[in-house]
């Protein structure tokens, strides 16, 4: 972990290994908050950028293959949530989200962030020469 983190300027991270549904290893590295000098712990929450998109897509498609879910299933119902009221003009949810379906989550998007250059996980590793 440290050999990966240091050249990329990543201040902190955590690693967990699960085997047969049991946590067998958990360790943290570096700092959770660089400015305050707070050490990372195995419980520290970190930004994972868009890593969850392909994980979610694979999980949904596995459930579809098993016949336990359909891509046109309404996501709000599966999540046991009420969709925002279509008549609610103060809703901050985009109109397309009212009819959100599982297929929406199974499509990996080529998204992005304007902060890529300032986010350590998006910086290219630079070899240092002296």
Residues 105/56, Cβ–Cβ less than 8 Å:
yes
Mean pLDDT rounded to a whole number for the chain:
74
In this structure, the answer to whether residues 58 and 92 fall within a common structural domain is: yes
SS3 call for 20:
coil
Higher pLDDT: 57 or 83? It is 57
pLDDT, tens digit (0-9, with 9 covering 90-100), for 28-79: 999 999 999 999 999 998 887 778 888 888 888 898 899 988 887 777 777 7
In this structure, the answer to whether residues 54 and 105 fall within a common structural domain is: yes
In this structure, the answer to whether residues 39 and 56 fall within a common structural domain is: no
Residues acting as catalytic residues: 50
Burial of 13 (0-12, 13-18, 19+ CB in 10 A): buried
**Domain containing 34: what range?**
1-46
Burial of 18 (0-12, 13-18, 19+ CB in 10 A): exposed
What predicted TM-score, i.e. pTM, was given to this entire model?
Answer: 0.46
Q: How many domains does the chain have?
A: 2
In this structure, the answer to whether residues 57 and 91 fall within a common structural domain is: yes
In this structure, the answer to whether residues 31 and 68 fall within a common structural domain is: no
In this structure, the answer to whether residues 53 and 36 fall within a common structural domain is: no
């Amino acid at each position: 972990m440290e050999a990966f983190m240091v050249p990329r300027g990543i201040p902190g991270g955590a690693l967990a290994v699960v085997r047969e549904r049991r946590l067998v290893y958990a360790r943290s590295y570096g700092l959770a908050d660089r400015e305050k000098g707070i050490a990372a712990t195995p419980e520290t929450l970190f930004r994972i950028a868009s890593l969850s998109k392909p994980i979610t897509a694979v999980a949904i498609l596995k459930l579809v293959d098993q016949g336990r879910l359909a891509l046109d299933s309404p996501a709000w119902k599966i999540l046991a949530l009420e969709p925002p009221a279509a008549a609610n003009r103060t809703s901050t949810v985009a109109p397309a989200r009212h009819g959100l379906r599982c297929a929406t989550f199974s499509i990996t998007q080529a998204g992005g962030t304007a902060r890529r250059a300032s986010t350590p996980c998006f910086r290219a590793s630079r070899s240092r020469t002296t």
